[in-house]
Structure 1
Amino acid sequence: MKLSCLRPLAALLLTLGLAACGGKASYDVSGTITGLNNDGLTLANGSDTVLPAAGTTSFTFAKRIDYGTDYNITVTKNPAHMNCSVSGGSGSAGHYLTISALVTCSQNAYSVGGTITGLTVDGLVLINGNATTTVAKDATAFTMSGAVAYGTSYGISVFTQPTGLVCTVTPGTGTGTMGEANVTTVQVACNPG
């Protein structure tokens, strides 16, 4: 048998042996974390809490739980500017040989948009990074495709001019660093070319 097959068998035999002697097996409640870029995350399993720091990739609660005890790992506080979720975080100890949840975190993201004046024909395409947005004629407002993560720079510019017009992004309105809300202040003006 391979060593990987022996470990679960050994854990099962240990559990059965402890149960036969009147003792109870106990389990660590732990897991892995992906994408934790900011401080402030609080995870809970009942009254037991853990506060993983930014950059942490794993966690283990201080209290072990006995065989047959239910566990439910939850996010009680998200980190600053992020949203985290838990998968595989609930069950009953002993149902699996290990208790290991996955906590996935991602930066909050928001839209970038604004107003347009003078767009009388089709063909205007705006760009932000690799995301393009085609704006229909007579539009007075736009929202770029794709959200921008908190703390990330954005820069809206004209990618394709509409026929017969010259459209420009008003200086100072099309660039910035994403905060904690949608940006709606970009201004695009189109004039006969």
Structure 2
Amino acid sequence: MPPIDFRLILVTDRSQVSDQSLPVAVQQAVQAGLPAVQLRERDLPTRDLLELARRIHDITKLQGVPLLINDRVDLVLALDLDGVHLRANSLPVSVARRILGERCFVGVSTHSPDEVRRANDDGADYVIVGPVFDTPSKRAYGEPLGLERFAEACCGSSIPVFAIGGITRERISEVRRAGAYGVAMIGGILGRRDIGMATEEMCVALQSPL
């Protein structure tokens, strides 16, 4: 299994990209140092998602940037992607691992310390935990955890924990002090006018000493 050597994951949402295509936005982020991409466009039909994933993979593989896709183990196989990201209530980690083997990352979205412990027990490679802070894109998942419960989730994990939900450059140090290995972001990058600059700012914040 390759090591988790990235600390920033761009989670895609093409509705937040206002004046260009999602592949162009991803390219700008990758050129600015983005280390990992999670393709999360659940509303797209399979053929459209396949084509979008192919276009983005053409960008990421040139730079050695891992491309993960939500739930679609079949598309990981079809396009030779780097891994799959599962919802807490979707395909079990063990099933995804049996299909993909050890060469691919298997990550899980979690929303509580209990779900984090379950993902650890199930053999996930990393977890994304949130929402830590309030954010419109994550309100469907309930009240934000807050830093105290997020820290509890980190303490119960032996695999890397990525914070998501309301993460800004200023809050990166807060979640890192609470135990985050890294952060996953949507609007903090895609919602910015200068995607490259936003990416650089987040990378610098993640590398800064606490």
TM-score > 0.5, shorter chain as reference: no
Higher relative contact order (CA 8 A, sep 6+): 2
Structure with the higher helix share, 1 or 2: 2
Q: TM-score, normalised by structure 2?
A: 0.16
Structure with greater strand share of residues? 1
Larger CA Rg, structure 1 vs 2: 1
